[in-house]
Amino acid sequence: MRSGVSPAVLIAVTAITAFTTLAGAVIAAWISARNTRNTLEHTARQAESDREEERRAQRRTARRDVYAAYSTAALLAVRDISRMLYAPLDDRAEERSVARASQHDLVVAIGPLSIEGPEAVYDAARPVMSLVAEYRQVAKTREWSDAKVVEARNEASRAVSRFLRACSTALDE
């Protein structure tokens, strides 16, 4: 059964069909590879963004813990110095020991603070330490007037408040 089409035409049509099918497959593979590459690049960017966000969250948590430790040490030192100041004579030696230990804890707590930073928080922490030491000295000697003791306590408390504001600002950044 002859269709009247020459074998050369059939071969040409078959070749054209095969070529276009092959070209379509190549184009589809190229598009698929491009889409896969774009998806992988997007996934890599998203993963890096997620890792960066996780690092920021960990740093913020570490800072918050260090800030909390220092502010707690400062507040305890002020409290313990006040207790030493107003302790009955029988308990005064023990209260002095507690106040000294609290002040020491404050000095120790500034170390991690200097590492975690930022510098503005560390700069706000240093006056706390010196004003707490001054308050303890004034309270310990009792040679000063009550007004001087109250002023020393208030200065130490204000320094703690400034430190807490610096911490809040640093955590908001």
- Name the residue type at position 143: E
- Name the residue type at position 134: E
- Name the residue type at position 18: A
Q: Which tokens sit at 26?
A: 């190549």
Quote the mean pLDDT of the chain. 90
What are 13-56's pLDDT values in tens digits?
888 998 999 999 999 999 999 999 999 999 999 999 999 999 99
Which positions ≥6 away from 139 have C-beta within 8 Å? 81, 82, 84, 85, 99, 149, 152, 153
Percent of the chain residues topping a pLDDT of 70: 97
pLDDT average, residue stretch 91-112: 91
pLDDT above 80 (res 4):
no
Superfamily of domain 59-172: IL-4 antagonist (De novo design) like domain (1.20.120.660)
What is the predicted pLDDT for the residue at 90?
Answer: 79
pLDDT above 70 (res 100):
yes
Distances (CA, A) of 111 to 105, 107, 135, 165: 11, 8, 21, 19
What is the predicted pLDDT for the residue at 144?
Answer: 59
